[in-house]
Amino acid sequence: MKINGDAKDIQTFNHLQKLLNIFQMVNQLSWTVDQTRKRYPLPEAMTTEELEMMIKLYMSYGNDLELIYNEFLKEKNSILKEADN
């Protein structure tokens, strides 16, 4: 689609950019989780303290995932609202 500069084209482009950014955040989070998994030993080899630390770390990743999902829902609702108009 070539952007002609009318309001609908610009808004459509902005929605796509926001979605691309959201999925880039998903990709970054996935990479971070994968790097964490590679950096630490298998859970079977960890002490209780290490396991608790890892639980806290993965819970923080879950918080990041929740924030990303909320951004997705916000953008999705904006797109659907415009489609209804």
Q: Closest Cα partner for 68 from 79, 57, 76?
A: 76
Domain spans, the chain: 19-84
Contact assessment for residue 9 and residue 3, using Cβ atoms and an 8 Å cutoff: yes
Per-residue pLDDT of the chain (85 residues; tens, 9 = 90+): 455 668 888 999 999 999 999 999 999 999 999 999 999 989 999 999 999 999 999 999 999 999 999 999 999 999 999 988 7
CA angle, residues 74, 4, 1, in degrees to nearest 5: 65
pTM, two decimals, is 0.83
DSSP assignment of 29-80 equals HHHHHHHHHHHS--GGG--HHHHHHHHHHHHHHHHHHHHHHHHHHHHHHHHH
